[in-house]
């Protein structure tokens, strides 16, 4: 992999950027199983904002250190403040972070090396793409402590069929990486020793494509999914027209006609 060259932040969240414009966000609190406590959420919000402000950003890889990818919210932190207003603020903060990932104009890849539970599973579901190691388990098991994983259910139900998502939510049962791939939660499953190579392969495919087309496509993909079919087609047609008039697509089509590789400034 291209070695990250610029360190942007450190601590619970490690944020680096390599020369290609790939931002690497690494949850770095193994002692808490990379739980999404207040400070972790704040660090993620800040890092995502810095990616959004980077006009040369090309992709984000979201990974983690330790045995767990992310164990969800920090329950000890939550139990210490049994106040409705605090919980509302906490879940609103988490929602802002999740939506900020979706609004980024570049693809976000989850690199899942360990267990992902509750809001950790939500984080995987919220990423645009996900590569997981064999044997990794996924669950939305808040129900085991009497807390239905309501916010994780939002992206989960948009990744897999409703009945599959509902079964996980009401039973607290776990699925392994292979089943997660079958259900649509992850794209690729490889051995742990091949995880970085598989992420690199996915990145290589993304980085070979023009940033503008990917940005327009990502925005359209999520917007149309929430629309009726007629409105979706209308928005998709307008997006394609705007994409086609841009020099990126003009060069790509001309290169196709001339049977050569496009000369893109990717």
Q: How many Å apart are CA 40 and CA 126, to the nearest integer?
A: 17
Is residue 22 helix, strand or coil? Answer: strand
Dihedral class, residue 14 (left if φ above 0, else alpha if ψ from -120 to 50, else beta): beta
Query: Do 176 and 168 meet the contact criterion of CB atoms below 8 Å apart?
Result: no
Q: How many Å apart are CA 133 and CA 194, to the nearest integer?
A: 8
Give me 1's structure tokens.
Answer: 């992999």
pLDDT at 1 over 70: no
Give me 128's structure tokens.
Answer: 């645009």
The third-level CATH classification (topology) of the domain covering 211-257 is Lyase 2-enoyl-coa Hydratase; Chain  A, domain 2 (1.10.12)
Instruction: Report domain extents, the chain.
Output: 6-207, 211-257
Q: Residue 66 contacts by C-beta under 8 Å, 6 or more apart in sequence?
A: 29, 30, 31, 33, 34, 114
Q: Is the dihedral of CA 116, 121, 124, 130 positive or negative?
A: positive
Query: Do 203 and 22 meet the contact criterion of CB atoms below 8 Å apart?
Result: yes
Tell me if domain 6-207 and domain 211-257 are identical in fold.
Answer: no
Share of the chain above pLDDT 70, in %: 96
pLDDT digits (tens, 9 = 90+) for 183-206: 999 999 999 999 999 999 999 999
Band of pLDDT at residue 3, cut at 50, 70 and 90: low
pLDDT digits (tens, 9 = 90+) for 116-148: 999 999 999 999 999 999 999 999 999 999 999
Q: Is the pTM of this model over 0.85?
A: yes
The third-level CATH classification (topology) of the domain covering 6-207 is 2-enoyl-CoA Hydratase; Chain A, domain 1 (3.90.226)
CA dihedral 191, 14, 181, 32 (to 10 degrees): 90
Q: Please report the pLDDT score of residue 8 as a whole number.
A: 61
CA angle 155, 204, 194 (to 5 degrees): 75
């Amino acid at each position: 992999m291209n070695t990250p060259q610029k360190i942007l932040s450190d601590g619970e969240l490690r944020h680096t950027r390599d020369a290609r414009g790939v931002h690497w966000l690494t949850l770095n609190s193994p002692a808490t199983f990379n739980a999404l406590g207040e400070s972790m959420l704040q660090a993620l919000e800040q890092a995502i904002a810095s990616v959004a402000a980077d006009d040369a950003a090309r992709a984000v890889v979201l990974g983690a250190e330790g045995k767990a990818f992310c164990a969800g919210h920090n329950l000890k932190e939550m139990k210490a403040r049994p106040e409705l207003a605090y919980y509302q603020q906490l879940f609103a903060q988490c929602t802002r972070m999740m939506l900020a990932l979706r609004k980024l104009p570049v693809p976000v890849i989850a690199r899942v090396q360990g267990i992902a539970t509750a809001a950790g599973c939500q984080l995987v579901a919220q990423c645009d793409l996900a590569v997981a190691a064999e044997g990794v388990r996924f669950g939305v098991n808040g129900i085991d402590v009497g807390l239905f994983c309501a916010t994780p259910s939002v992206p989960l139900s948009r990744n897999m069929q409703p009945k599959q998502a509902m079964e996980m939510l009401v039973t607290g049962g776990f699925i392994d990486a292979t089943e997660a791939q079958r259900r649509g939660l992850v794209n690729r499953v490889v051995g742990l020793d091949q995880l970085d190579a598989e992420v690199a392969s996915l990145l290589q495919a993304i980085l070979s494509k023009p940033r503008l087309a990917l940005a327009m496509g990502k925005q359209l993909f999520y917007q149309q999914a929430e629309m009726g079919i007629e409105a979706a087609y209308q928005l998709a047609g307008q997006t394609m027209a705007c994409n086609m008039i841009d020099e990126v697509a003009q060069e790509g089509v001309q290169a196709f006609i001339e049977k050569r590789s496009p000369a893109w400034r990717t």
